[in-house]
Structure 1
């Protein structure tokens, strides 16, 4: 069966950045940082053609080589996704697709072994620089399964963006109630409060969603409660 012209128009069109942080779960921050650095060295080596193309400026080339040889500063590593997407966009004339897998493994390791603040500081900068407001990005897929990572990065559990402006958007927060310490009603209150505190609705409204709905879902075993509220 043919995919159709609408889909074939995108086939092999975009440069792709694929990065997995799987395995970056060492017992110390120093060892975790070394593992992250090696993954970025491998990523930059995969796209070495942009360095060999001689299209980079002097500063860009210096930063690229620093990442490749492992001598870059933390600030340069922090903008590694942004810089690489810029280079690929210029080289190929198309914005990039990013596929980032297991982004939460180093965060989970940080919580387990006591270096969470240090690794969170880097991962937050790394992903924010690469994904938020990046003019060289076409689409991105970010996969991870740990709730602690999503909350630490300040993101909702589910955000539904409309395909067209003027259509509804939804922010969904999932909570687990632990009776008697936390009731279902308290969990729902907490979920809606988090949506308002993060101002998740602003991101959807900026993309043209209207109206924006805030929904909290609380679980206690097999009992589930759902509540809609003002998104803020």
Structure 2
């Protein structure tokens, strides 16, 4: 099976130009409900069997993600999202776990906290550990979520798979590879990364610590699969990156025969 580890689905777009695509001075666009067929059609075109979906950090929509994954349980699985500093954050992590979501996406850059903050993150990780949730960190080139800060928290919770999205973006890729190399629970996700950086990670880590993500609709599944194919020519190794690893981390019930 081909399983993609990172994509976004947004239903309520609010007033944000980033989410609506509006130009300055345009009237607010009418609400158009999310059409899951647009996602499923692109998955089918690229031969992707299952895909993770989560909210963009600009607007957290956990109920929408829960409903979407329940409507398409054979194709989509979900990650919820919280701002750890919110008063109801821990209750919300409990709720999304009970609703069947597979993990938690965190975005320190947009939500304004340092990932090395044990007071904020340790309680979140304890709940994830208790419920078998993975954590995906949207890691950008800034100090809020440096790979070393992510490792500071992740190493205290070895039972929680921690995925560094975008492999730490551009300048933080070397440190992301470093912490994935020495911390068993840390893995790297490939969306928005350079081909050369995926090759570098594969050369240092082998295939077991890398998971393919597209971040649709900002990118497309067939293009991401092409990048992975060029970076990882070995078919067995590529099968792990394109599905086997994330299936193992999340307990998706995919056998090794399926993944190959």
Hey, which of these two has a bigger chunk of strand by percent?
1
TM value normalised by structure 1: 0.32
TM value normalised by structure 2: 0.29
